[in-house]
Structure 1
Amino acid sequence: MNKRNKVKQLNRSADHRKAMIQNMVISLLRHERIESSVAKLKVARSYAERIITRAKRNLDANLANLDEQKKNAAILHNTRYLYSHLGDQEIVTKLLKDLANRYAERVGGYTRIIRLVNRPSDNTAMGILELVDRKTQDELKAEAKAKREEKKPAKKEEKPKKAKKEKAAASN
């Protein structure tokens, strides 16, 4: 009997389940949207919500009543906790700098599950897990375009080069 056991087993061993959920949460935080079965998404959602709440603890408003030494210790502890649970420095940085500020005013409910049509092969309920205030595709494209334009070096004037070529052709 499976009494008093709140862990959704998902027909996997504990290590496999932990790795799968961790990978799903990392993908969610990286892409801000993932697609999977609803049962897996429900488990990943609870884990992701706890991770985002932990990241919010590093905000200044939550650490205002601590002295400087305890504040630094709390920030270090939360950062190490996130890194130990996610294992990806890029995601931890995004979580602390972008997502924690985005959800600073929100008390909970950072994610939502949108149900899709059942998978035809085995009739499994499918869904999309996404962050609530995520950027739209158009906003992401505009940001990428702006970054590309910033990286481009200033174009050199081409008119003087043409004039030099014409002079060289005229002298020959």
Structure 2
Amino acid sequence: MRHGRRVPKLGRPADQRRAMLRALTTQLLQNGRIVTTKARAKAVRAEADRIITLAKDGSLAARRQVLGYIYDKNLVHSLFAQVGERYGNRQGGYTRILRTVNRQGDNAEMALLELV
């Protein structure tokens, strides 16, 4: 049974999956958009929305939680500085998934994940 399971396993062990989601979330917050598979994009969307919600809170505890997930201090500092003006009125839904063409090698569904 998969009751309560939020993130699909993505064909990886738990430690590798956590590291991959962390890296993809960091790249999304740095660049504003990433191209990945649709399943990975759906998994990263939940993590990115959680990070942005914590940044909107702006408290010291929220900053420490984000620093525990994203290791780049400068990125976290700029995220906390900019998120108020960018997402101040928005009540969620900070990312957008756009489907693109399937990958040529294995026909995997690809998607463009970007910040709104």
Q: TM-score, normalised by structure 2?
A: 0.94
Moved over 4 A (4+): none
Q: Does 1:93 align with 2:77?
A: yes
Partners of 2:23 and 2:47 lie apart in 1 by 11
For residue 77 of structure 1, what is the aligned residue in structure 2? 61
Q: Name the one with the larger helix percent.
A: 1
For residue 9 of structure 1, what is the aligned residue in structure 2? 9
For residue 51 of structure 1, what is the aligned residue in structure 2? 51
For residue 141 of structure 1, what is the aligned residue in structure 2? none
Paired amino acid for 1:100: G
Partners of 1:115 and 1:39 lie apart in 2 by 11
Secondary structure in structure 2 of the residue aligned to 1:117: coil
The answer (yes or no) to whether the contact 1:49–1:110 under 8 Å persists in 2 is yes
Q: Does 1:129 align with 2:113?
A: yes
Q: Which runs of 5+ in 2 are unaligned?
A: none
For residue 27 of structure 1, what is the aligned residue in structure 2? 27
Alignment match of 2:92 (pick from 108, 127, 138)? 108
Q: Which runs of 5+ in 1 are unaligned?
A: 59-74, 133-172
Q: TM-score, normalised by structure 1?
A: 0.64
Aligned residues with identical type, % of pairs: 41
With CA pairs under 8 Å and 6+ residues apart, which has the higher RCO, 1 or 2?
Answer: 2
Give aligned pairs, total: 115
User: What is the CA-CA distance between 1:16 and the residue it aligns to?
Assistant: 0.4
Q: Name the one with the larger strand percent.
A: 2
